[in-house]
Chains A and B, each alone.
Chain A
Amino acid sequence: MTALRANLRVIGALGLRAVRQTFRRPQLMAPIVVFPTLLLAIQVGGAGSAIHLHVGGVSFPHVDSFLQFMLAGAMMQSLMLAGNSGGIALAVDIEMGFTDRLFASPISRFSIVLGRLAGTAALGALSAVWFLVIGLIFGVPIEEGIAGALVTIGLVTLTAVAIGGIGAAIALRTGSSSVVQGLFPLIFVILFLSSAFFPQNLMLEPAQTIANYNPLSFIVEGLRDAIVFGFAGSEMLDALLAVIGIGCVGLLLSAAAMRHRVRTGG
């Protein structure tokens, strides 16, 4: 019990450090908040007419506005960038030798990763709140009300942890911030090949088929379910399963990378 409490204290301290670090460095904060907000504003203005789209018997889903539809995509983009930023920050810690000092201290090695993920979770929750507030300011109704907003924040937070696990695994394996930073374009490839920005059945091939199998599509549809459709189908369950799947992959990869780092020292 005492060991668990000690580990939780370490996770809390490292999580708080991760959040402070992000707020102190604008280059880490900008991709999480500024860039997705900017893209959201531009895409809503640029492609907003899409809600009137009707192609070969398929119509754009009934939404209050394109902003309402896009909020889930913006949150997804933000949390993926938060996961990537967390990975970059962990890699910087490794480069600076901070992680080695943590390895040498009498704390559980996994709390080092969980501490970083706690910071990513906090940033994910923050981004969910940010985009919900933007939506409310611009008159977007949250279909499931306060419950929907809370579910959205919870799902975004869990997804941020799951994605952050993959970022942490890459940081631990490579120990190079530039390698983790190099994943930035890949994040956009994965996002574009999901239903984050447009209904999957209105996308062009082959993006449409890939989006159909992309786990991010399931998560986005879950978020959209709470904001737009009001828990109308099984999307929330699919989203949770996708988050658990990604989270397990991230944890397994992180554990393997951690073992490799401890064994080889780099």
Chain B
Amino acid sequence: MAEAISRLRPDLEMIRALIARARNELVRVPGAAVPGVLAPTIFFLGLNGVFGNLIQLRGFSADSYSSFIIPVSMLQGAGFTGAAMGVNLARDMERGWFDRLVASPAPRWVLLAGNVASASIRSLIPATVLFCVAMAIGAHFPGIDGLAIALILVMGMAAVAACWGSMLALHYRSQSVAPLMQSGMFVAILCTTAYAPLALLQGWLKEVARINPVTQVIEGVRQGFVGGVSWADTWPAFLVLAGLLALLGALALRELRRLAE
């Protein structure tokens, strides 16, 4: 075990350095974090003000719409943050900085892991702001366990989004693919039970939400905000995130290997 850790130490150091670089970018240009926080906050407050009375419909499972919609906005924040890491990677490729990383003796997965881990950590910024705004306007406190699960799932979603963004950045090698990175996450998160419980969804969205794996993640984050935390609502969310992370991570690594070749 100790031998394995010591073998991994240079890789972990490299990941730590890449995370530190992402952190420095944020410290030097704090404004870079604003869009990732502002957009989901506007959507949260806007959707709550506009659709807030939907909870009066029979079959709605929450006592306030802010409690129902806050998980969606937290995951949107994670999605935007992950996609932004993809854009940053594309920028690094356009400027030639990433070529130097590829030429280094660091394993390919380490280069990807640095980016993904940065996105996960960074997603806590919009999540924290959104959580505070939600509490301020009267959303239900999810409890320590509910909040912990929500934040872990948000970080996982940001990692998935970063894999998605990195895969596209490595494939197209241009920042112009940014709208695809963002809209992909936007659609994945909203084509779920984002607006209303499954029973109240209409037409095509009901069918899509039923099979969209991200619905499980939304329900996992939502459980503490609208009721109690249960294992039955928790494990499917983690399973889905693990599956998406494995799939998109593998695809991103394949693109990275192609780039190196």
B residues apposed to A, CB below 8 Å = 35, 38-39, 42-43, 45-54, 56-57, 65, 176, 179, 183, 186-187, 190-191, 194-196, 200-206, 208
Using known A-B contacts A49-B54, A207-B50, determine if residue A189 contacts B205 with beta carbons closer than 8 Å.
Answer: no
Query: Is there an interface contact between B205 and A27, defined as CB atoms closer than 8 Å?
Result: no
The answer to whether B191 and A42 touch across the interface, beta carbons within 8 angstroms, is yes
Given contacts A42-B190, A192-B45, contact A49 B203 (CB under 8 A): no
Which residues in B have their C-beta under 8 angstroms from that of A203?
49-50, 52-53
Which of A27, A192, A193 is the one whose CB lies under 8 Å from B179? Answer: A27
Asked whether, in the complex, the Cβ of B195 is within 8 Å of the Cβ of A30, the reply is no
Where the two chains meet, the residues of A that have a C-beta atom closer than 8 Å to any C-beta of B are 26-27, 30, 34-35, 38, 41-50, 52-55, 66, 185, 188-189, 191-193, 197-198, 202-204, 206-208
What residues of chain A lie closer than 8 Å to B54, measured between beta carbons? 47, 49-50, 53
B51: chain A residues at CB < 8 Å are 47, 50, 197-198
Q: How far is the CA of A26 from the CA of B178 in the complex (A)?
A: 11
Which single member of A42, A55, A191 contacts B56 (CB below 8 Å)? A55
B195 touching A55, Cβ below 8 Å: no
Given A53-B56, A185-B35; A192-B202 close (CB under 8 Å): no
CB of A180, distance to nearest CB on chain B (Å): 14
* Residues of chain B with a CB closer than 8 A to A50's CB: 51, 53-54, 57
Among candidates A49, A185, A204, residue contacting B49 with C-beta atoms closer than 8 Å: A204
Give A48 to B205 CA distance when docked, in angstroms: 10
Given A27-B179, A35-B183, A185-B39, the answer on whether A44 and B49 have CB atoms closer than 8 Å is: no
Q: How many angstroms between the C-alpha atoms of A185 and B43 in the bound complex?
A: 9
Contact A46 B195 (CB under 8 A): yes
Residue pairs across A and B with Cβ atoms less than 8 A apart, 29 shown, are A35-B183, A38-B183, A38-B187, A41-B204, A42-B190, A42-B191, A42-B194, A42-B205, A45-B205, A46-B190, A46-B195, A46-B201, A46-B202, A47-B51, A47-B196, A48-B201, A49-B200, A53-B57, A55-B53, A191-B46, A192-B45, A192-B46, A197-B51, A198-B51, A202-B53, A204-B49, A204-B52, A204-B65, A208-B49
Q: Is the CB of A48 within 8 A of B202?
A: yes
Task: Tell me which of B39, B54, B186 has the highest count of chain A C-beta atoms within 10 A of its own C-beta.
Answer: B54
Extra 10 A-B pairs, beta carbons < 8 Å, given A35-B183, A53-B56: A26-B179, A38-B186, A44-B202, A46-B201, A53-B54, A54-B56, A66-B202, A192-B49, A204-B53, A206-B49
- Flag if B57 contacts A49 (CB, 8 Å): yes
State A189–B201 Cα separation when bound (angstroms).
Answer: 25
